[in-house]
């Protein structure tokens, strides 16, 4: 795990970034990820942010910033 971020308006959602460039989105009530997002370059995820207005997730690795629905 290289980064972690809780969704600010819903404390039950958390996003976890890995060394292999994956972002796992969890609902804390379930043991498996709801979504798995993959970065193209497979670099460690450095930062995760939730954009509450648009309901999107922004993720950053060494090379790119990705915006997810």
Q: Give the class (CATH, top level) of 3-68.
A: mainly beta
Contacts of 33 (CB under 8 A, 6+ apart): 24, 25, 26
Strand partners, 57: 50, 68
Helix H or strand E encompassing 33:
none
Model pTM score: 0.89
Write down the pLDDT at residue 11.
76
Strand partners, 50: 57
Extract long-range pairs of 13-16: CB within 8 Å, 24+ residues apart.
Answer: 15/48, 15/50, 15/57, 15/59
Q: What is the residue extent of each domain of the chain?
A: 3-68
Mean pLDDT of successive 10-residue stretches along the chain, which has 69 residues: 91 94 95 94 96 92 94
């Amino acid at each position: 795990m290289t980064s972690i971020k809780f969704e600010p308006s819903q404390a039950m959602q958390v996003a976890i970034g890995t060394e292999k460039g994956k972002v796992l989105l969890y609902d804390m009530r379930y043991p498996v990820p709801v979504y798995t997002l993959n970065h193209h370059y497979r670099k460690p995820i450095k930062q995760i942010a939730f954009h509450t207005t648009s309901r999107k997730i922004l993720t950053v690795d060494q090379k790119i910033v990705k915006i997810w629905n």
